[in-house]
Amino acid sequence: MSENTKGRIKLLLLRIVVYAILIILSALCLFFFYLMVVNASRSNAELAKGFTLIPSGNFFTNLKNAWNDASINIPRGMLNSLIIALSTAVLTTYFSALTAYGVHVYDFKGKNLIFTFIMAIMMIPAQVSALGFVQLMNKFNLTNNYIPLIIPGIAAPVVFFYMKQYMESVLPLDVIDAARVDGSSEFRTFNTIVLPMLKPAIAVQMIFSFVSSWNNYFIPALLLDKAELKTVPIMIAQLRSADYSKFDMGKVYMFILLAILPVMITYIILSKSIIKGVTAGSVKG
């Protein structure tokens, strides 16, 4: 057997192993989603009996019970979470890209120091500053308000870092210089030339920011007391802490299923751009 044939066989075996691993991982991810759909179709009594892979016939009953629950307003909660998550995703990606553009394009004194400072902030968990943040919002009378949940998203060190690295891969400074020679202002250059070049990266960070904001429980639980302002994670926690005599696991599973649908829809819409962003951002041109 020639060396060329041996090499092809090794490459084929490697591909088989890689595809097998990917299939297994995909099956695991889909299995847990399928299991959640199955549990959302079962009654509380059926769930108490134990595990099964066969769906039951209580899907629409659980949907009706969850949607019309008197203790929580699921449609309003999903709308609240959607407003916060969409606003946060848009502000986070735009201003992080704008900050990365300034650091990438301009050469000024203290540039490296600013970059290091932003990276240092990225290492600080949100829980460390949560108490001071809540106290500050109380002083500004911004509790039971969406402003503290949206505006801080402008400062996102992780998104800034990703955008900065992506710009180094796809945004040559010659393009910016050419736009300046043509008389384009800096904001016009950024909005009409740079942003279109960053679409894959923006799609990646928008979905990550959307999911992070949608699933955020800690800060909203500290700031939101009014029932009409509460978000989906808070409402799920309320369902789980309900009185045992009124506790319905089928309804809880249905609510969880409803809660992840917007995330899945967002991913499906942006999936092609996400793949482009991940692959293009990993290769420096």
Q: In this structure, what token pair is assigned to residue 113?
A: 């120091």
Region class of 27: left (phi > 0), else alpha (psi between -120 and 50), else beta: alpha
pLDDT at 277: 57
- C-alpha span between 215 and 235 (Å, rounded): 12
- C-alpha span between 275 and 174 (Å, rounded): 27
CA dihedral over 175, 180, 185, 186, signed as positive or negative: positive
Q: Hey, which CATH number is domain 62-281, 3.90.180.10, 1.10.3720.10, 1.10.10.10, 3.20.20.330?
A: 1.10.3720.10
Produce one character per residue of 51-77: b if its CB has 16 or more CB atoms within 10 Å, e if not. eeeeebebbeebbebbeebeebbbeeb
pLDDT at 236: 83
pLDDT at 275: 65
Degrees to nearest 5, angle at CA 118 with 114 and 119? 115
pLDDT at 244: 54
Q: How many residues does the chain have?
A: 285
Q: Going residue by residue through the chain (285 aa), what tens digit of pLDDT does each one get?
A: 677 787 788 888 999 999 999 999 989 888 988 998 999 999 888 988 888 888 888 899 998 888 887 778 888 999 999 999 999 999 999 999 999 998 888 888 888 888 888 888 888 887 788 888 899 999 999 999 999 999 988 888 999 998 998 888 888 888 888 988 888 888 899 999 999 888 888 888 888 899 899 989 889 999 998 988 999 999 888 876 655 556 778 888 888 888 888 888 877 777 776 666 555 544 444
